[in-house]
Amino acid sequence: MAKQRLNKYERETILLTSEGDDAWDIYTFNTDLKNRLRKFAARYPELCKLKEENKELGSVSYIIQKSRVSIHLNSPQSEARRKAASEYAKTHGVQRNVTDQVVVDD
Q: For the segment 25-42, what is each residue's pLDDT rounded down to a tens digit? A: 999 999 999 999 999 999
Query: Is 55 inside a domain boundary?
Result: yes
Is the pTM for the entire model greater than 0.85? Answer: no
- The whole domain housing 63 covers 13-68
Query: Is 5 inside a domain boundary?
Result: no
Angle subtended at Cα 36 by Cα 30 and Cα 41, rounded to the nearest 5 degrees? 120
Query: Is 2 inside a domain boundary?
Result: no
Query: Is 92 inside a domain boundary?
Result: no
Q: What is the pLDDT of residue 15?
A: 96
Q: For the segment 9-24, what is each residue's pLDDT rounded down to a tens digit? A: 999 999 999 999 999 9
Name the domain count of the chain. Answer: 1
Q: In whole angstroms, how far apart are CA 52 and each of 30, 39, 47, 67, 98?
A: 15, 16, 16, 21, 34
Query: Is 102 inside a domain boundary?
Result: no
Query: Is 32 inside a domain boundary?
Result: yes
Query: Is 103 inside a domain boundary?
Result: no
